[in-house]
Structure 1
Amino acid sequence: MINTESLPKTIYAIQHLAFEDLGSLEDTFYQLGFRVRYFEAGVDDLSPALNYEGLTIILGGPIGVYESEDYPFLVDEIAGLKQRLTANKPTIGICLGAQLIAHALGAKVYAGHQKEIGWGLLEIKADEPNILSPLKDTHVLHWHGDTFDLPENATLLASSDIYPNQAFSIGNNILALQFHLEIAEQSFEKWLIGHTCEIRHAGLSIPQLRQDNLCYAAQSEQQSHKIMKKFIENIRL
Structure 2
Amino acid sequence: MHIHLLQHGPDHEPARLTDWLTSMGHSYTVFHLYNGELTPPAGDSDALIVLDGPDGFVQAPPAWYKAESKLINRYLDGQKPLMGIGLGALWIADALGSIVAPGTYPETGWHTIQLAPESPFDLPEQFEAFMWHRYVFSLPDNALPCGGSEAAPLQGFSWDAGRVIGLLYHLEVTPKSVEPLFEHHALSAERHDFMQPEADIRQQPKRFDPLAALLDRLMCQWLRPAPA
Amino acid at match of 1:126: P
Q: Is contact 2:107-2:134 (8 Å) kept?
A: yes
TM superposition shift of 1:199: 7.1
Partner of 1:164 in structure 2? 153
TM superposition shift of 1:135: 4.2
Partner of 2:108 in structure 1? 117
% same residue:
24
Q: Is contact 1:65-1:74 (8 Å) kept?
A: no
1:146 equivalent to 2:131? Answer no
1:46 equivalent to 2:46? Answer no
1:74 equivalent to 2:65? Answer yes
Partner of 1:64 in structure 2? 57
Partner of 1:5 in structure 2? none
RMSD: 2.3
TM superposition shift of 1:137: 3.2
* Distance across 2 between alignment mates of 1:199 and 1:30: 36
Give the length in aligned residue pairs.
222
* Distance across 2 between alignment mates of 1:235 and 1:211: 41
Question: In structure 2, which of residues 214, 221, 224 is the aligned counterpart of residue 230 of structure 1?
Answer: 221
Q: Note the 1:164-203 alignment, pairs <5 A.
A: 164-170=153-159, 171-195=161-185, 197-198=186-187
Structure 1 alignment gaps of length 5 or more: 1-8
Go from structure 1 to structure 2 and tell me whether the alpha carbon gap of 1:32 and 1:216 turns closer, same or farther (over 3 Å shift).
same
* Distance across 1 between alignment mates of 2:196 and 2:147: 25
TM superposition shift of 1:41: 2.2
* Distance across 1 between alignment mates of 2:58 and 2:188: 21
* 1:58-106 Cα deviation digits (max 9, x unpaired): 00012333423xx222222212211220123211000000001001111
Partner of 2:25 in structure 1? 33
Question: In structure 2, which of residues 6, 9, 31 is the aligned counterpart of residue 17 of structure 1?
Answer: 9
